[in-house]
Amino acid sequence: MTFMKRVVLYSMSHCPHCDAAKKYLSQQNIQFRLVNVKTAAGQKEFSKSGYRGVPILKVGDQFINGFSIKEFNKLYQL
């Protein structure tokens, strides 16, 4: 059995790059936790990341600023 890295997607509504990330993760059958940065809890968690814009992907304990399939696959090791 292979160990799957935990994936968190920090996003918000009406963000085309966030939507692209969600679509890609879903198409690859990758489970992820979606954090809406416009909610109080989401904002609190997102502020700890040190980033200001979305999307931000957290793969394991590493962050990707923006959405890049190449960068994501490198960290996730697909």
* 20-77 pLDDT tens trace: 999 999 999 999 999 999 999 999 999 999 999 999 999 999 999 999 999 999 999 8
Report the pLDDT averaged over residues 2-16.
89
Strand pairing category for 62-65 and 56-59: antiparallel
Q: What's 7-76's CATH class?
A: alpha beta
- Name the residue with higher pLDDT: 37 or 4: 37
Tracing tokens 């936790």 back to the chain, one arrives at 33
Predicted confidence at residue 3, as pLDDT, reads 62
Asked whether the beta carbons of 56 and 63 are under 8 A apart, the reply is: yes
Q: Hey, where are the domains in the chain? A: 7-76
Predicted confidence at residue 18, as pLDDT, reads 98
List residues bridging with 62 in a β-sheet. 59
CA angle 34, 20, 6 (to 5 degrees): 35
Q: Is the pLDDT of residue 1 over 50?
A: no
